[in-house]
Every structure is written in structure tokens, then in C-alpha cells.
Amino acid sequence: MFDKVKEIIGLGILGVGSVVVFFFFLKSLFKEMVNKSWSSTNADITSLEIVKKGGHGDWRYEPEFKYQYSVNGKIFGTDSSSLFIGYPTRGLAEKAVENYRNTKSVRVYFNPSNPSENTLQLGITKSSVFGLIVSGLIMTTTIYAIIKSLC
């Protein structure tokens, strides 16, 4: 009996976590669908460097990409773009940013209602779709497991 309660509690915690992650990706996906109507302008690249992050055998190389742009005379910028992911080697990270090293500016898309909200990619990203699918599968499997253990 006690093992059954522990199992249900564990599955419940996993279920709640997967629901939270699912809705995080759903919100991200919705935002990416909405940003298709955003305005665009050129942004000046202010910094582009490869930073080694992690530790304890889990090192990765992340491009830190910073830029700034002007909307109606007001300057906006970003501390670091989420366009890039971590790479296992410096060479792969360098290859990912090589097109940006040859230019001084990029096209940035911004929310006309809130110009500080910006992105370098319009539309739905593969990572949001993948995250939504994986978290949805985990959530569905967990709900099934909870129902099965209650019966």
C-alpha cells in the first residue's frame, strides 16, 4: 500500500512538472506565431564571441551575440541572443557564427507595441516544436501511468 502511494506521488510530481514544461513551450510557440507580424529594422552587431561554459566534464561553447537597434530614435539592444545553442567544440561554435563575423549588422524583428521585445528569427522554431512534442509525450505517458496505477 505504501509503495503504491509513493508511486502515485512520484508520478504526480512528474505530471505537474511535465504540464508546466508543456505550457512553457506552448506559450513560446504562440509567441513565435504572433511575431510574424512584427516590424523589422537593421541592428548593429556590438559583440560576437565564443564563451566556454559549464564544468565538471560538461563543457560547451556558446556564441554570445549582442546587438542594438533604434526605433523612433530610442536605442534598444540585447545582452545575448538566444539564436545559438551550446556546441561541444569551439570549432562548431565558430562555424555557427561565421556568417555573422563577416557583417556589421543583422535584421532584427521587434514588437511594434513593445520595441524592446525582439528576435532574429521569425516564425516557429524547431526547438519549440520539439519541446512541445517531447513534453506532451511525457505528460500523456505520466497521466496514463497515474490512471493505470489508480485502477
3-state secondary structure 71-88: ECCEEEECCCCCCCCCEC
Choose between 62 and 113: higher pLDDT: 113
| Integer angstrom CA distances of residue 87 from 28, 47, 60, 97, 134 | 23, 19, 5, 11, 21
Q: How far apart (Å, rounded) are the C-alpha atoms in residues 84 and 23?
A: 23
Q: Where are the domains of the chain?
A: 1-36+122-151, 39-114
Q: What is the pLDDT of residues 43-54, one digit of tens each?
A: 998 888 888 888
- H or E, element range at 41: strand 39-53
Residue 52 confidence (pLDDT) = 87
Residue 151 predicted with pLDDT over 80:
no
Torsion sign over Cα 27, 30, 125, 110? negative
CB 70 within 8 A of CB 83: no
Mean pLDDT across the stretch 27-34? Answer: 73
Choose between 115 and 2: higher pLDDT: 115
